[in-house]
Amino acid sequence: MDVRGAFVRKVLQEETERMLERQEAAISAALSRRSGTLLSSRRVSVSGGGDMDGTAVFSHPIYERFLDMRRMGKDGRRRKGRKIHNRFVFGAYASIAKNLMYGLTEEVARGLRENWKGQ
């Protein structure tokens, strides 16, 4: 695996783990009844590592999306969603894009190569 592939994999892994941590805190704060299914069935897998390509897959229970949506109350008023899905997923996308665009400079790549040679 080359330096760029390792960098992409590292960025994807760090950002998805950060997303899971922040989302877990929001879910715990927003939901009072808990069966534990929503938190325990979320998974992230990172694969790839070729030349600047990689994949992060986030799997979760489908009803997480419905908890995030606006809905109508019994009185006919709109109720806000709980903000436990889109906010974190799109925040992770933006952070990954920013880190991949600006994070790997030639100086960082040179430093990583030297680090790997020393090990």
pTM to 2 decimals? Answer: 0.76
pLDDT recorded at residue 109: 75
Q: Is 84 part of any domain?
A: yes
Q: Is residue 47 situated within a structural domain? A: yes
pLDDT tens over the chain, length 119 residues: 577 888 888 899 999 999 999 999 988 888 877 778 888 889 999 987 666 788 999 999 888 878 777 777 778 777 777 788 888 899 999 999 998 888 877 777 777 778 777 66
Residue 17's Cα: distance from chain center in Å? 6
Instruction: Give the pLDDT of residue 118.
Output: 67
Q: What is the pLDDT of residue 49?
A: 64
Instruction: Find tokens 């997923």 and name the residue.
Output: 89
Boundaries of domain holding 28: 3-108
SS3 for 100? helix
Residue 57: closest CA among 48, 72, 46: 46
Q: Is residue 85 part of a domain?
A: yes
| Nearest partner of 103 among 17, 9, 23, 18, judged by Cα | 9
Flag whether 115 is in a domain.
no
Q: Is residue 51 part of a domain?
A: yes
The whole-angstrom separation of Cα 113 and Cα 77 is 59
Alpha-helix runs per DSSP H in the chain? 3-30, 37-40, 63-68, 86-102, 106-118
Report d(CA 29, CA 84) in Å as an integer: 10
What integer pLDDT is reported at residue 1 of this predicted model?
A: 57
Number of independent structural domains in the chain: 1
Residue 96, pLDDT score: 92
